[in-house]
Structure 1
């Protein structure tokens, strides 16, 4: 019985990212058409991502997400958190330096994303991400955490 449960849990975990990906596609499609997210997708967002969904939507409303791009094509996202602290997130590896990401996602494996990374995905789906160009040197400094652009 124990093996069967473990196999089922593994299967469910492997589907969750696909569900999240489809949810972002659905949000993009409906937002492009109606410039709002319908209630059924908001409920799905809350179901998939839990309490951080509402917090992420608040960050989206506040236009807290900026995409930094360099001439070499590197990208990083900066999110101003609810406390005013700036977090640099990387979608390529699903990483955020916030304590919630470290504890909830990495240590306890209780969520896919923190509110900051979720806000980045939502801003991209809704095409409301602020854009900023930085030099390759600024991006290198940002990536090495030696200086903010």
Structure 2
């Protein structure tokens, strides 16, 4: 599975799915947890869901992917098997995250 943060994120998403399927609502504590784990992009992602810009596509083999209609009108395909999206926002966020991790490692060596 990997890092503890990945385990936390997966559990949070399971809790979110269960709660929403039972109540058709997302309580504030889960929204706050989403923001804490995923950062500001979580709110932008929820905005796309609210705008009905996200579609789950399932293949006959059982694999799932999400198609996301971006603000520019471009369609992006995000595969659930790898935590990646081809949109510019994901690339920018991932690059910033890697940059900050590199700085932390450099500081720990000095």
2:36 to 28, 34, 47: 47
Could you say which residue in structure 1 is the equivalent of 2:107?
none
- For residues 98 and 72 of structure 1, do their structure 2 counterparts lie closer, same or farther at Cα, with a shift above 3 Å needed? same
Unaligned runs of 5+ in 1: 1-12, 111-149
Shift of residue 55 of structure 1?
0.6
Task: Identify the range of structure 1 (73-82 vs 48-57) with the bigger mean alpha-carbon deviation.
Answer: 73-82
Distance 1:33 1:96, change over 3 A: same
SS in 2 for 1:48: helix
Q: Tell me the distance in 1 between the aligned counterparts of 2:89 and 2:28.
A: 27
Matched residues, number = 98
1:26 aligns with 2:7: no
Computing the radius of gyration over CA atoms, which structure comes out larger, 1 or 2?
1
Aligned-residue CA RMSD (Å): 2.2
Runs of 5+ consecutive residues of structure 2 not aligned to the other structure = 100-110
**Secondary structure of the structure 1 residue equivalent to 2:84:** coil
Structure 1 residues 56-99: Cα deviation after superposition (integer angstroms, max 9, x where no partner): 11111111112334445554321011232211111112221112
Cα distance in 2 for partners of 1:63, 1:71 equals 24
1:1-149 alignment runs, 5 A limit:
14-106=3-95, 108-109=97-98
Q: TM-score, normalised by structure 1?
A: 0.57
Query: How far 1:106 moved relative to its partner?
Result: 4.8
Note closer, same or farther for the CA distance 1:87–1:33 as it changes in structure 2 (3 Å cut): same
TM-score under structure 2 length normalisation: 0.75
Q: CA deviation at 1:33?
A: 1.6
